[in-house]
Chain A
Amino acid sequence: DSGVTQTPKHLITATGQRVTLRCSPRSGDLSVYWYQQSLDQGLQFLIQYYNGEERAKGNILERFSAQQFPDLHSELNLSSLELGDSALYFCASSVGPGSSDIQYFGAGTRLSVL
């Protein structure tokens, strides 16, 4: 599958813990975006990386951080987890920096904080 790949598919953890979500973009795509989908807030943009550099920031909490590695995969780190962090986390990728590109989405990681 040459599409956007996210691992793991499901993650169950406890409050106060730290987790790492991983995203591999489509082949050739340089941008990676992270979105959070929760029942009350819908799909919200968290952060974007383009070719290893942070490009845009949305409503990302200070407890959350991300990075994009030289091979262009990205990781979203969530720490000091709270019940309210339970959500679907989507990664998307695009060819360029984004202002005119189509974003292609991964299947998501479902995080459950107990």
Chain B
Amino acid sequence: AQRVTQPEKLLSVFKGAPVELKCNYSYSGSPELFWYVQYSRQRLQLLLRHISRESIKGFTADLNKGETSFHLKKPFAQEEDSAMYYCALRGQAGTALIFGKGTTLSVSS
């Protein structure tokens, strides 16, 4: 079955500390992986897409097919990074996104 697991409900870090939001997936083929972010009182928006291999707002994520992971990383967290982060998967022929339950990132000074 297709599944996305985000093991941490809440991740609290201090400003300037490194951040790693974990995402593991279960899928037998070659999925497409995404990170979406939801800032307070705002809509869900795309942060990263694995096929783009880009860095957005200092965040990066690498697809590790061996470990079936797509962890989100940032070397130095900022207070404005505080938000809810969702990892999502889309299957090869699929259209729907399968979301993890999300991780709340709280960055304090």
Contacts and interface: CB of A to CB of B under 8 A. Distances in A.
Contact of B95 (A43, A56, A104, A107): A56
Contacts of A102: 46, 49
B94 to A, nearest CB: 7
B46 A43 contact: no
A56 B101 contact: no
A108 B43 contact: yes
Contacts of A58: 96
Contacts of B95: 31, 33, 48, 55-56, 97-99
A42 B98 CA distance: 10
A89 B5 CA distance: 21
A51 interface: no
Interface string A13-30: 000000000000000000
Interface extent on A, as a size class? 20 to 34
Tell me the interface secondary structure of chain B in the complex.
loop
Nearest to B52: A102
Given A31-B95, A98-B95, A43 B43 contact: no
Contacts of A99: 90, 92-95
Interface in B13-50: 32, 36, 42-46, 49
A100 B32 CA distance: 9
A90 B97 CA distance: 12
A56 B96 contact: yes
Interface of B: 32, 36, 42-46, 49, 86, 90, 92-102
Given A42-B101, A99-B92, 7 more contacts: A43-B97, A43-B102, A90-B44, A102-B46, A104-B45, A107-B42, A107-B43
24 contacts: A3-B43, A33-B97, A35-B97, A35-B99, A42-B101, A43-B99, A45-B97, A48-B95, A48-B96, A56-B95, A56-B96, A58-B96, A98-B94, A99-B92, A99-B94, A99-B95, A100-B32, A102-B46, A103-B97, A104-B46, A105-B36, A105-B44, A105-B45, A107-B43
